[in-house]
Copies of this chain bind each other. A is one copy, B any other.
């Protein structure tokens, strides 16, 4: 990953090269290992050149995050539309796409939720995340309409589904899972299985209304 410059002085597509080299570095060594001077050297330019394409390091990372959300959204839509045409299958497909994206694009994923690094100023980035979230929200709502998710407040359901896939992706990427035998291929069916049955099972369990307003009447005043 050291895309060379073509002519002498002008690089040709330095912005693209910087993004690619950065993502590869972050994938291999983490965000903190990304060094703008070394990055410039690897891209074949001087250390000041990147600043003509990105205001600062945070802006570079924000661009990576934005790109990542774009890829993620596309992958989720693709998998969802390729899934069988029932609400549960489509939600499961979204979950699988989420985890698959994280494991396959570690470099992007490692940046996408680091609000502390990228300082959520970029307007494109601010809009990218809610779009992904909306996909999930709509799918859960479909499950509810199809009565394969419990009635009631949608928020806890969406939160549960998102947390499960996000947690799995995060733990995997951080290398926190104490399983040696766990590769990304084995992750997908776990997600599938989880999502497919979780809401369906909950829907038939009368105790699982999700409104949090189950205060006991004795406590009420």
Do B197 and A212 have beta carbons less than 8 Å apart?
no
B190 contacts A197, C-beta separation under 8 Å: no
Whether A166 contacts B171 by the Cβ 8 Å rule is: yes
- Tell yes or no: A113 within 8 A of B by CB: yes
CB distance from A125 to the nearest CB of B (A): 12
A207 contacts B212, C-beta separation under 8 Å: no
Which of A5-13, A46-54, A114-122 lies at the binding interface? Answer: A114-122
Q: Is the CB of B171 within 8 A of A162?
A: yes
Contact of A190 among B31, B130, B160, B166 (CB under 8 A): B160
Q: Give every chain B residue within 8 A of A210 (Cβ-Cβ).
A: 193
Considering only CB atoms, which chain B residue lies closest to A117 in the complex? B32
Contact A200–B205 (Cβ < 8 Å): yes
Identify which of A75-83, A138-146, A174-182 touches chain B: A174-182
Interface residue A70 (Cβ < 8 Å from any Cβ of B): no
CB distance from A62 to the nearest CB of B (A): 14
Q: How far is the CA of A135 from the CA of B65 in the complex (A)?
A: 35
* A208 on interface, CB distance cutoff 8 Å: yes
Contact indicator per residue, chain A 120-155, by CB within 8 Å of chain B (1) or not (0): 000000000110010000000000000000000001
Of chain B, the residue at the smallest CB distance from A208 is: B197
B117 touches A174 (CB 8 A): no
A209 and chain B: residue at smallest CB distance? B193
Which residue numbers of A lie inside 8 Å of B, CB to CB?
29-33, 113-117, 129-130, 133, 155-156, 159-160, 162-171, 174-179, 182, 186, 189-190, 193-194, 197-198, 200-202, 204-205, 207-208, 210, 212
